[in-house]
Structure formats: C-alpha cells, structure tokens
C-alpha cells in the first residue's frame, strides 16, 4: 500500500491525473505563468523569479517536462523552456467539456 493503483484506471484518466498532478504545486503553477507572461524562457530567469533554490527549480522543471507540459531546448550553456501548447489544448478541452456538460444538464442535486 501507499502507492497509487494506476493499473485500475483508464489510460486517459491516468494521463489527465499525471498532467494535473504536475500542476498541483504552486511553484509549478508559478513557472507556467512565468513562461506564459514573459518572452524569456531561460532556466536561469525562472530560478531568479522563484523563491526556491536552483536544484529545486530544476526538479520542478523536470516534472513539468516529464508530464508533457513544457519542452526545453539547449541554447548555448542555457536551457530554454516553453509551454507545450498541445498539452494546454488538452486541458482546455477537458475542462471546457465538463463545464459545457454541467451547463447543459442543470439538474444538480446539491
């Protein structure tokens, strides 16, 4: 016990959970918002922006990347990280769909 029982859920459910879990930390939300708001995407800039040590930020970036939310490219000695638009489109569609569905059937019982 202790570990998530992923094998009993659908591929899609696990995929959504992985992406949302990656976003379920304020530092990673802050990283995504920084990448969105600024034109810069150099890792060092992100480290300066966040109230966390460099190794911690590096770890958060790794998690966002492995969840498919950002991608990185080498830029000299620096690394440029960007939001993966495809992932964001999946999220937008997912929550858009739920909202629309709830809108349609106004039979909320609570």
Task: State the residues that interact with a copy of itself by CB under 8 A.
Answer: 4-6, 8-10, 13-14, 16-18, 20-30, 32-33, 36, 39, 41, 51-52, 71-73, 80-83, 85, 88-89, 91-92, 94-96, 98-99, 101-103, 107-110
The tokens of 95 are what? 């929550």
Residue 26 CA to residue 48 CA, distance in Å, equals 16
Residue 5 is a binding residue for DNA (CB under 7 A): yes
Give me the least distance between CB of 83 and DNA, in Å please.
15
The answer to whether 4 touches 19, Cβ cutoff 8 Å, is no
Residue 78 is a binding residue for DNA (CB under 7 A): yes
H or E stretch covering 23: none
Residue 32 CA to residue 67 CA, distance in Å, equals 13
Backbone angles phi, psi at 74, to 5 degrees: -70, 135
A 10 A CB-CB count for 22 gives: 20
Q: Which of residues 43-72 bind DNA (CB under 7 A)?
A: 43-44, 47, 52-56, 58-63, 72
- In the complex with DNA, which residue's Cβ is closer, 83 or 106? 83
Enumerate binding residues for DNA (CB under 7 A): 1-5, 21, 24-25, 27, 42-44, 47, 52-56, 58-63, 72, 74, 76-79
């Amino acid at each position: 016990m202790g570990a998530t029982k992923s094998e009993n859920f659908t591929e899609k459910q696990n995929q959504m959970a992985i992406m949302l879990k990656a976003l379920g930390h304020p530092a990673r939300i802050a990283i995504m918002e920084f990448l969105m708001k600024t034109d810069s995407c150099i890792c060092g800039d992100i480290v300066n922006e966040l109230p966390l040590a460099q190794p911690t930020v590096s770890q958060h970036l790794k998690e966002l990347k492995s969840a498919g939310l950002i991608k990185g490219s080498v830029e000299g000695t620096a690394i440029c990280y960007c939001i993966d638009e495809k992932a964001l489109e999946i999220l937008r569609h997912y929550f858009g769909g739920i909202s629309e569905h709830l809108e349609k059937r106004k039979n909320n019982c609570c």
